[in-house]
Amino acid sequence: MKSLELLVERIILSSRWLLLIFYLGLAASLAVYAVSFAYKFCKVAINVLVYDEADMILAILGLIDAALVASLIVMVMISGYENFVSRFDEAEDEVSFLGKLDSGSLKIKVASSIVAISSIHLLQIFLNATQYDNAKLMWFTIIHLAFVISAVLLGLLERIMAKSKAKDA
């Protein structure tokens, strides 16, 4: 019976390598998104003398938004791989610049990235407020506030859990 248990445990532990497909897919999506970013950047560069100030701000906000989304993808790929698949070996391309991203701090970083991305989208919408009716503006704001409240509650919960772990230790 013990050998069956060990076999099941090995199968379950080995199944974590299936996550590699997802992380490679995220890397491919990042490459596709980089092409999209390059297109947006070229469009801004070509129209730099044509855009008025508001259009330029909106275009730059779009580029910032793209950079935040790309950073979020990289953060999830690296920390997810390290936390759930395999640790990175010491190499020239160390990932020590990330610091320690356990699942709790990853959740907080992802939530704060989502709030930042949502903030940029909301700012873009408000800069074009004449294109939206009041009901849509209200719903965009409510959705953004839901992201903000969720991130704050997640941070609060993580802090409570950290205090509880410190007490137990």
* Tens place of pLDDT per residue across the chain (169 aa): 888 999 999 999 899 899 999 999 999 999 999 999 999 999 999 999 999 988 899 899 999 999 999 998 998 888 888 888 887 776 555 655 555 666 677 788 888 889 999 999 999 999 888 999 999 999 999 999 999 999 999 889 888 888 888 887 6
HSE-up of residue 87 (Cα within 13 Å, Cβ side): 6
Residues 162 and 118 in one domain: yes
Q: What is the pLDDT of residue 54?
A: 86
What pLDDT, on a 0 to 100 scale, did the predictor assign at position 101?
Answer: 63
Are residue 73 and residue 118 in the same domain, yes or no?
no
Distance in angstroms (rounded) separating the CA atoms of residues 62 and 40:
8
Same domain, 47 and 84: yes
| pLDDT at residue number 78 | 86
- The pLDDT, as a whole number, for residue 94 is 60
92: three-class secondary structure by DSSP: coil
Query: What's the pLDDT score for residue 25?
Result: 96
Which of 99, 129, 148 is a domain's end point?
99
Full domain range(s) for residue 42 = 1-99
Confidence (pLDDT) at 91? 56
Q: Which of residues 71, 99, 127 is at a domain's end?
A: 99
Number of domains making up the chain: 2
Query: Structure pTM?
Result: 0.74
Assess whether 37 and 59 both reside in one domain: yes
Nearest in space to 65 (alpha carbons), one of 137, 134, 117, 114 = 117
Domain boundary (99, 125, 146) is at 99
The reported pLDDT for the residue numbered 103 is 67
Task: Give residue 98's pLDDT.
Answer: 57
pLDDT in the model for residue 97: 53
- Helix, strand, coil distribution of the chain in percent, nearest 5: 85, 0, 15
105 and 95 housed in the same domain? no
Instruction: Produce one character per residue of 39-60: b if its CB has 16 or more CB atoms within 10 Å, e if not.
Output: eeeeebeeeeeebeeeeeeebe
Any idea which residue has 């989502």 for tokens? Answer: 114
Q: Do 26 and 59 fall into the same domain?
A: yes
